[in-house]
A and B are shown apart, each in its own frame.
Chain A
């Protein structure tokens, strides 16, 4: 790396980011964004410091009670959170658009460093780092002599986490970019899920022997976890605690090896990006030289106006072509499988303990993930917003089309979840089905109403093709938190009342009343979108065409 070139470049990037930030404060929207960012940062800081204190306390307990090998119990959750959170909360995750950097004469190593610095600024990394600091301090508090080595091991463990997140994003983005690799990825994914599912029936078949089998699985699983980064870090720390310096160094060197291997794998992707790789499908579609164009008829949905149907069709096509968005959508189903496996394994499985709650919890999670789209309806359209502004179609119809498409996705997800819960546990009772759907009938219209207005008041261009550039406006994120707290609070209370009330009919009636209110709010909000869009046409076009 040529430091005489790199340092000014890094300084220039920092300066330009700072200027962009200060310039953004000139507008009301920018000031509101800053306020939202501060509030969200406070929430993250609370989670970070709170988690650090808890994990630090636990680390202190394990070390001071001579159980340093149990540190793995702390490092695994940190590891899983660090890797899973960016996928589950893309609204809070930002990665840089490499094409922005490639224009400049930046050498490869400088490019990698800038990418890693950007990666280090996402909430998962901030939280994960704070928690590791907490664990380090907890170890140091229990035995001060361990502090330097604990700091070193956990620092490298943090680096492994940071690199691994970036590597997973880079590779999954690559696999999901083209139809063929997307299909291979989907097939492998579902084979893996089916494989996981087969464990349960196989073990059930052997009846009482299943507990023995699970113990055997545990015996196999423990050595496996011990060769993965959290296990290795815990063993290294345990060795240090036991004064086995030589073994500690050997174990630590394995952790370093992980860092190097992951960096190499990440490097393959970054090198390709640095060379100006184009992940579009253009290169793999052969020219067909057809003489006449064939254009299929558009969709037909009885009872809906043509422009609404056109928007629904367009939205489904967009969603189907976005690997990252599809991956987000299947997360609730994956979670169901994960929790289902826990139940089968005889541990504190969610499905086993609360089978009746699996459907409503899964449906709520699906709706939560959908808010990424619902709250920024025009983000993926980018400059296409100008078409909506110039076309004779009303924004009311455009929003209806988008809302119907999103609700279609939610319905599919809930159906899959219902089937999944039925297969893995037992079919939800008709009461639970009724409660879940009435709860969704309350939560969904409120979210749609808020999303329709926020999409006009706080739009932000997003890119469906990549994991990066999907970050929502911070105002939207903050508003989303507030709305979810309200909606899920009310729905949760109503569900509790409906489920446990001796006067079930009365409880359900109250739920229906909430549904009616939510639908009324939705209709009223929908009635306002044309006026709002007309008033904010210029802002919409400017913000989304950037």
Chain B
């Protein structure tokens, strides 16, 4: 069996008395486009932070490309690219300066950095205003720049925390094109997102976390089969007789709605 790109064993993280992530055992094969889903506060961001070295686990193990993260931290960091929740940009640099900075920090030489940065800026359509500072970029432009920075060193695994949040259709199209190109070249992508339609369209495999615990993991087909076997239900005919990811998600985590009336609201 091939070494998984990402594997966790009983990954746990507590904040005082609160256990944000508990005994999570993830397995993501190389080359997979992996969606990591969960309701708000379920532990998605905490998990991705642990997988990228932004947060130390309370217990458990993380293996990236067969390397133990705790023992081979620098080696692992060289192999991965990260677009964290806050994007981690440096606002008072221009886009080109930022990419140059990131390339050098990942150990690329000056010439390679400049060449790749120019190509990425063109691919992401960020060449119109070369003197514009990152702080003045629109949100979509910042997301594109953050993705460009995450891939400039050619990572084998890409971690993306909500990459499509607040992004318009045009920018989203550019981001998707970049991600699909990476998958086609054998990279592994691990993303969290609330936009289930995008996850369903892009990802081959999905895991769902709820209240800190992994409640489902597998290919979309495996999840459909599992959920249907547990509780056969009426299926939306518009989805071609299949359960959509949204339906799977709601069944797995359980839909919760508030009964309270807000009489004063309109």
Residues of A within 8 A of B (CB): 280-282, 285-298, 300, 306-307, 309-311, 313-314, 317-318, 321-322, 380-387, 389-394, 464-465, 534, 537-538, 541, 545
Contact = CB atoms under 8 A, between A and B. Distances in A.
A288 B130 contact: yes
Q: Which 6 pairs, one residue from A and one from B, show the smallest C-beta to C-beta distance?
A: A310-B104, A282-B136, A386-B88, A293-B121, A392-B77, A387-B88
A281 B136 contact: yes
Contact of A314 (B56, B90, B122, B132): B90
A387 B98 CA distance: 11
A285 B136 CA distance: 11
A291 B87 CA distance: 27
Contacts of B93: 314, 317-318
A243 B119 CA distance: 80
Given A292-B118, A296-B96, A545-B86, A537 B54 contact: yes
Given A287-B129, A321-B92, A295 B118 contact: yes
Given A285-B131, A306-B110, 10 more contacts: A285-B129, A287-B129, A288-B129, A310-B100, A318-B92, A381-B90, A383-B87, A390-B53, A390-B54, A392-B106
Contacts of A288: 128-130
Given A306-B109, A387-B102, A538 B55 contact: yes
Interface string B83-118: 010111111110011011111111111110111011
A298 B121 contact: no
Contacts of B110: 297-298, 300, 306
B56 A295 contact: no
B174 interface: no
A119 B212 CA distance: 45
29 contacts: A282-B132, A292-B127, A293-B127, A294-B130, A295-B96, A295-B99, A295-B113, A295-B114, A297-B111, A297-B113, A298-B100, A298-B101, A306-B107, A307-B104, A310-B100, A314-B97, A314-B101, A318-B90, A318-B92, A384-B90, A386-B86, A387-B88, A387-B149, A390-B80, A392-B77, A392-B106, A537-B54, A538-B55, A541-B55
Contacts of B107: 306-307, 392
Contacts of A380: 92
B65 to A, nearest CB: 14
Given A295-B121, A310-B101, A391-B77, A317 B106 contact: no
A312 to B, nearest CB: 10
A382 B105 contact: no
Contacts of A313: 100-101
Contacts of B99: 295
B105 A322 contact: no
B14 interface: no
Interface in B112-146: 113-115, 117-119, 121-122, 126-133, 135-136
Nearest to A320: B92
A465 B109 CA distance: 31
Nearest to B74: A392
A313 B110 CA distance: 13
B78 interface: yes
B55 A293 contact: no
Nearest to A280: B136
A537 B56 contact: yes
Q: Which of A290, A292, A294, A310 has the most CB of B within 10 A?
A: A310
B106 A391 contact: yes
A377 to B, nearest CB: 13
B52 interface: yes
Interface of B: 52-56, 74-75, 77-78, 80, 82, 84, 86-93, 96-97, 99-111, 113-115, 117-119, 121-122, 126-133, 135-136, 149
A183 to B, nearest CB: 14
A18 B118 CA distance: 49
B104 A306 contact: yes
Contacts of A534: 56
Contacts of A294: 96, 118, 130
A393 B105 contact: yes
A178 to B, nearest CB: 11
Q: Which of B89, B97, B101, B121 has the most CB of A within 10 A?
A: B101
Nearest to A535: B56
B78 A392 contact: yes
B53 A389 contact: yes
B95 to A, nearest CB: 9
Contacts of A464: 92
Given A298-B110, A392-B78, A281 B88 contact: no
B104 A289 contact: no
A314 to B, nearest CB: 5
A12 B111 CA distance: 55
B91 to A, nearest CB: 7
Contact of B100 (A291, A296, A307, A393): A296
A390 B82 contact: yes
Contact of A321 (B56, B89, B133): B133
Nearest to B146: A387
A321 B109 CA distance: 26
B54 to A, nearest CB: 5
Contact of B127 (A281, A290, A389, A541): A290
Nearest to B80: A390
A317 B134 CA distance: 13
A379 to B, nearest CB: 13
Given A281-B133, A293-B127, A295-B96, A390 B84 contact: yes
B100 A295 contact: yes
Contact of A285 (B55, B111, B121, B132): B132
A298 B105 contact: no
Nearest to B91: A382
Given A295-B121, A391-B77, A317 B128 contact: no
A382 B89 CA distance: 9
A391 B88 CA distance: 11
Nearest to A383: B86
A538 B90 CA distance: 19
Nearest to A179: B131
A404 to B, nearest CB: 14
B114 A383 contact: no
Contacts of B75: 392
Given A309-B104, A386-B86, A391-B105, A289 B128 contact: yes
Contacts of B89: 383-384, 387
Given A295-B121, A390-B54, A534-B56, A280 B105 contact: no
A131 B35 CA distance: 64
B200 to A, nearest CB: 28
Q: Which of B88, B107, B118, B131 has the most CB of A within 10 A?
A: B88
B98 to A, nearest CB: 9
Nearest to A464: B92
Contact of B54 (A297, A382, A541): A541
Contacts of A537: 53-56
B211 to A, nearest CB: 21
